[in-house]
Amino acid sequence: MNYDVVIIGAGPGGIFSAYELSKKTDLKIAVIDSGNALSNRKCPIDGVNVKSCIGCKTCAIMQGFGGAGAFSDGKYNITNQFGGSLHEYIGKQQAIDLMRYVDGINLAYGGEGTRLYSNVNTVFKKKCLEVGLHLLDADVRHLGTDINYVVLENLYNDLKNKVDFYFRTSVTDIKIADDDRYIIHSENAEFISKYCIISVGRSGSKWMETVCNSLGISTSSSRVDIGVRVELPAEIFAPLTDQLYESKIVYRTNKYQDLVRTFCMNPYGFVVNENTNGIVTVNGHSFEDKAKQTQNTNFALLVSKNFSEPFKDSNGYGESIARLSNMLGGGVMVQRFGDLIRGRRSTQSRIEESFLVPTLSATPGDLSLVIPKRILDDIIEMIYALDKIAPGTANDETLLYGVEIKFYNMQVELDKNLETRYKGLFVIGDGSGVTHSLSHASASGIYVARHIAESK
């Protein structure tokens, strides 16, 4: 099957590449994804009292139209201060402009009426600085899990008439033909194209590494983020979340001088399971619809670990910790902060006696048996620091779910156009190691699509 452009991966990067190419060119475009169309993405253990992954051939949570972000909280952070290093390739202003362009598309396709928060120059910035915390600047569009789905649904309904989608189609390898076109092999078909855009996200990290090895594309070791998801009464963080929604706060610990940060804050939200390569970790969601909201707020506390020689497998390190948690807890483990400080495991009776009602059914246990001491010490110190700006964070009944792992792809060697050493072969989104967020991944897709449109 011959195409002008083949896009591998239907996550944010792939979607917005296809969107922009269909708007600006008459090129013949195919999008290939190993998962399902959005309407067919349903995890068989969602809502069922099963805590461990059953190993589906394709993961309905991580793969398919919308990528891993399809069932996320739908937060688009417009900033260069976090979410990736796209600005280092294309420039700070262009990166921001592209993120705002994507925000406009989201509004046009169903997100109209959602709120754009800003934490630039707020009183909370000073309050954080007074206790050694650093609030990063960003504008945050919160779509919510529900509106995010609507936006994706509308985008798909528009694109399906202009782009050929191939779902449940796993790419096995990529070859370069004598005429410099790309031959993309799947289990059942062969695609040939002048341009190939790879946008496989974090779940495609292992596959991306094999492709780079086979084509001789250089990569560098990346990081892994390890931590917990904190759940507490929404009132504790309400002064921040009601005004800022997503407060990205960074703290340097006194004990080890490590950096700890908040991540993916979900006011009035839910703690949920997440599956990556058969490993069950934890994440958070929240809805824009107030009728679907809870009385709790959750957010992650993450410590980044970067490894030097001779060890290079940062994702493998994170996976080993997650597997240990799965082994001890049969899935996600939960512990009250007071129990952790006292050196005792949480039990079901202690959690049931608490006033805070968990939003995720997890196994009570002892996170100190899973998370390395240095990382756990960092997290505990961060909780006490947050307690100074949000009193009640360090309450005994605050829940810690573990583990939360953020896996990052090996960083692929790319030029300023996000192009590999092979002309016409681009790598975008979180699969490139360049972006780490919905907004940056989406912007990278627009950027490459415009480059192709200008050079065709």
Q: Where are the domains of the chain?
A: 2-117+141-219+411-455, 223-407
* 3-state SS class at 3: strand
SS3 283: strand
Q: Residue 435 in contact with residue 13, Cβ under 8 Å? A: yes
Side-chain-side CA neighbours of 9 within 13 Å: the count stands at 32
CB 412 within 8 A of CB 199: no
Q: pLDDT (tens digit, 0 to 9) for every residue of the chain, 456 residues total?
A: 999 999 999 999 999 999 999 999 999 999 999 999 999 998 887 766 566 667 788 888 889 999 988 888 899 999 999 999 999 999 999 999 999 999 999 999 999 999 999 887 678 999 999 999 999 999 999 999 899 999 999 999 999 999 999 999 999 999 999 999 999 999 889 999 999 999 999 888 889 989 999 999 999 876 889 999 999 999 999 999 998 888 899 999 999 999 999 999 999 999 998 877 678 899 999 888 888 999 999 999 999 988 877 777 788 899 999 999 999 988 899 999 999 999 999 999 999 999 999 999 999 999 999 999 999 999 999 999 999 999 999 999 999 999 999 888 789 999 999 999 999 999 999 999 999 999 999 999 999 999 999 987
Paired sense of beta strands 139-142 and 399-407, if any: unpaired
Find the radius of gyration of the CA atoms of the chain: 21
Q: What is the pTM of this model?
A: 0.84
Query: Which tokens hold the place of 333?
Result: 């483990």
| CATH architecture of the domain with range 2-117+141-219+411-455 | 3-Layer(bba) Sandwich (3.50)
Instruction: Mention every residue, 6+ apart, whose C-beta is less than 8 A from residue 130.
Output: none
DSSP letter at 109?
A: I
Cis preceding-peptide flag for 260 (omega within 30 of 0): no
172 vs 296: CA distance, rounded Å: 43
Residue type (1 letter), 107: L
Query: Residues with Cβ < 8 Å from 356, sequence gap 6 or more?
Result: 231, 232, 233, 296, 397, 398, 399
